[in-house]
Amino acid sequence: MTDTKKTPTPKKSKTPRTPMPEQPPMVRAANFLEVTLGYTGELAALEASRCLQCKTPLCRKGCPVEIDIPGFIGRLKAGDRDGAYRVLRQTNSLPAVCGRVCPQEVQCEGSCILGKKGEPVAIGRLERYVADSFAAENGCMQLTGETTCALPREIKVACIGSGPSSLTVAGYLSALGVKVTVFEALHELGGVLIYGIPEFRLPKDVVRREVDAMRALGVEFKTNWVGGKTILVQELLDQGFDAVFVGVGAGLPRFMDIPGESLIGVYSANEYLTRVNLGRAYAFPEYDTPVFRGKQVAVVGGGNVAMDSARTALRLGAERVTIVYRRTKGEMPARREELEHALEEGVKLEILANPLRYNGDKDRRLVSVTLERQKLGEPDASGRRSPEPTGETFDLPIDTAVVAIGTRPNPILLEATPELKLSKRGYIEVNPETGETSIPGVYAGGDIVTGSATVISAMGAGRRAAQSIIRKFVGEDAVQ
Amino acid sequence: MPYRILKRKDLIPGQTILMVVDAPMIAAKSRPGNFVILRVSEKGERVPLTIADADAAAGTITIVFLVVGKTTAQLATLREGEDILDVCGPLGRATHIEKCGSVICVGGGTGIAAMHHIAKGHHQMGNRVVAVIGARNKDLLLFCDELGSFCPEVLIATDDGSRGHKGFVTELLKARLEEDKDIAEVVAVGPVPMMEAVAGVTKPFGVKTTVSLNSIMVDGIGMCGACRCTVGGKVRFACVDGPEFDGHAVDFQELRMRLGQFRAEEKVSLEKFRAES
């Protein structure tokens, strides 16, 4: 109650929410360039002027890394773009990434007071503007050597994996002067930001820039190091790392265990996206990694990964891309914006349908999928109404299927580290307050703890772990 | 960290090449059966190669590859003193090696090199290793001397009879299994038809048979499922569950089909590379 008293009465903003410039749907569906083009300085100033600068901002509470949102927008309003960037970087190591891929509608913008009567401030778009324009003009040079506290001694931390959780740990700790080394298994840095999220939604140059900013802060990156294979957790501790953060991400793709899933033309979303994103298969044969450019494509699943896969298939030249989902549009876990973008580009939906089997020709190439019509029954544990089979089946002719129904824990590091206590679902168990695992000094966060989740929740976990590392080795006063 | 080529040797000129690569972290942990994923150029593909030998003290691993596609053709252009862009490993489960008596290790073509590492592991465990190797002719045989240095017997088959038995390794294997009832395990590494034929020969004898699958891989670290294969009716990932599986349970037909799925693209890549170099 006190909160609402302190904040201005919700009122409809006079200025409407500033639209985001975008490539037109039919143009962008044929290229891999970024869909949204970003605000100009004028658009950003206009949008920033809508912010009410609440004394007790609800938006900040909605942010998993607690960005001082009125703080950065206030500086932007005052024309202090560099100051706005510094506010962002205080709690967010990857602002250019978050400005693009966070589900703001259920976080900061979902809590914005303007949204009660009208449309919320476009916080994500402003965040992206500040990060992009700062990087464009300043590069990362300004960040070098900006340490803010005196460490009692040299503290060394190792991060396994270079996805959003590890990068957050690295960004947070290196800004405080901690020596961080990041070990990545693949040949390119960024984890899911590189192999998972497509170029048209998150350009790889943006990720590279964020990584370069951390390098400027002294973070050391090593590629081709597989945690649990090339190096063991215990070896890192023995080598003098004070703490180890495990952020190895989601792992083995799930399949439905139905007939025909090994036919040629059936991909996991991970394989499909990794070929296209990490391998740049969209530019084959300039790049060597191939991918099958299907004409009739079905994508199974209703999350963001399914949307990314469907939109990728379109851009690879598919004539028809159908998202097959066993519930209805309303139950899809994907962000609204992603679903809308996909539909605008021409992706079809086949809702209340579930694959029963994939059918192949004599060469074991996929030719169709047999789907069973579903109907919605009672809500399940997730609160969504659960699909029930009706017995009615039909065939959808396809030459490519992309299975995007989630992942299971990757076994490599877990098998190599039997001392790590796991949850019932097989993920790493951590103290929810500190992120510390059953091995003292070893922390974990992101998808290897929660199962498939969002970039920002992984970053929140990274921040919590980084804060506990500082609390343990430096003291409460140094925690930001 | 550069992965420097310390030694390069054409085992079969223009076709099969051996490289000793400086990779101390990988060498320290490498066990028989492990593989690496490597990449040769910035726009290159990730490809898996079995580790043919490792020397932890020298900090080196040995790879042997057949020039089949663009990546291997490009790798073949690298000379001693040059670096391989990316080498990641050691990956996959190591071969399960225990003291079990007598083992037959069968290798075909380039697979002889990968088999060599496994045979050596069995020998070091104290098992008696009979090596059975085959190729089209005597010039295409690999690792004869290396295998001869620790295997009491190296049986050779060539298609044209230019060395050893004229015919297939499976014929030598069958004859040996008939006369020697103490064979505890047969390991086979080589072309898919050879591994399938080996599994077919050993089945009536009820001998444990291990094959090493050379599935297509992308990441090699359990993330993408490109390498999935059906073993005993269950889907397994060659990169994290394998690459070695029970030869009697593998669906070889599926493996063959899946290995061929990018043949057209592989041809495009190779032709483009040849035209440009």
| For residues B159-169, average pLDDT | 94
Nearest by CB to residue B225, choosing from A271, A280, A364, is A271
Render pLDDT for B91-150 as a digit per residue (tens, 0 to 9).
999 999 999 999 999 999 999 999 999 999 999 999 999 999 999 999 899 999 999 999
B40 vs B226: CA distance, rounded Å: 20
pLDDT at A480: 74
Measured in angstroms, the CA of B262 and the nearest CA of chain A are apart by 7
Spell out the residues 6+ positions from residue A244 whose beta carbon is closer than 8 angstroms to its own.
A157, A158, A159, A160, A233, A236, A237, A441, A442, A443
- Which residues are bridge partners to B63 per DSSP? B19, B51
pLDDT at A140: 53
ipTM of the complex: 0.93
pLDDT at A384: 79
pLDDT at B189: 96
- Give the 3-state secondary structure of residue A430: coil
B219 vs B229: CA distance, rounded Å: 16
Please identify among residues 263-292 of chain A the ones whose CB lies closer than 8 Å to any CB of chain B: 264, 267-268, 270-271, 274-275, 278-280, 284-290, 292
pTM for the complete prediction?
0.93
Please identify among residues 196-215 of chain A the ones whose CB lies closer than 8 Å to any CB of chain B: none
B155 vs A72: CA distance, rounded Å: 75
Render pLDDT for A62-87 as a digit per residue (tens, 0 to 9).
898 889 999 999 999 999 999 999 99
Nearest by CB to residue A187, choosing from B29, B39, B89, is B39
Task: Kindly indicate the confidence band of residue B1, based on its pLDDT and cuts at 50, 70 and 90.
Answer: low
Residue of chain B with shortest Cα separation from A289: B45
pLDDT at A1: 40
Q: Is residue A2 predicted with pLDDT exceeding 90?
A: no
Residues in A touching B232 (Cβ below 8 Å): none
Task: Determine, for residues A285 and B44 on separate chains, whether the beta-carbon distance falls below 8 Å.
Answer: no
Tell me whether the omega of the peptide bond preceding residue B243 falls within 30 degrees of 0, making it cis: yes
Task: Determine, for residues B25 and A284 on separate chains, whether the beta-carbon distance falls below 8 Å.
Answer: no
Q: Is B232 exposed, middle or buried (0-12, 13-18, 19+ CB in 10 A)?
A: exposed
Render pLDDT for A231-275 as a digit per residue (tens, 0 to 9).
999 999 999 999 999 999 988 899 999 999 999 999 999 999 999
Measured in angstroms, the CA of A365 and the nearest CA of chain B are apart by 9
A11-15, A279-283, A385-389, B170-174: segment of lowest average pLDDT = A11-15
pLDDT at A48: 95
B163 vs B141: CA distance, rounded Å: 9
| For residues B80-87, average pLDDT | 97
| For residues A93-119, average pLDDT | 91
pLDDT at A147: 52
Render pLDDT for A140-157 as a digit per residue (tens, 0 to 9).
555 554 555 667 788 999
| Backbone angles phi and psi of B195, in degrees to 5 | -65, -40
Which position has the token pair 């900013």? Answer: A213
Measured in angstroms, the CA of A308 and the nearest CA of chain B are apart by 16
Measured in angstroms, the CA of B103 and the nearest CA of chain A are apart by 28
Measured in angstroms, the CA of A309 and the nearest CA of chain B are apart by 14
Render pLDDT for A170-229 as a digit per residue (tens, 0 to 9).
999 998 889 999 999 999 999 999 999 999 999 999 999 999 888 988 999 999 999 999
Residue to mutate among B40, B45, B217, B223, with most A CBs inside 10 A, is B223
Q: Contact at 8 Å (CB) between B190 and B107?
A: yes
Q: Is residue B254 predicted with pLDDT exceeding 80?
A: yes
Cβ count near B163 (within 10 Å)? 16
Residue to mutate among B218, B231, B240, B261, with most A CBs inside 10 A, is B218
Which position has the token pair 């796991």? Answer: A422
A28 vs A201: CA distance, rounded Å: 11
Q: Is residue A6 predicted with pLDDT exceeding 60?
A: no
Measured in angstroms, the CA of B237 and the nearest CA of chain A are apart by 9
| For residues A159-167, average pLDDT | 96
pLDDT at A413: 96
Report yes or no: A231 at the B interface, CB cutoff 8 Å. Answer: yes
| For residues B38-49, average pLDDT | 96
A475 vs A469: CA distance, rounded Å: 9
pLDDT at A5: 45
**Mean pLDDT of all residues belonging to chain A:** 91
Q: What stretches of A220-371 show up as alpha helix (H) in DSSP? A: 233-238, 269-277, 304-315, 336-345
Task: Determine, for residues A252 and B228 on separate chains, whether the beta-carbon distance falls below 8 Å.
Answer: no
Task: Determine, for residues A252 and B29 on separate chains, whether the beta-carbon distance falls below 8 Å.
Answer: no
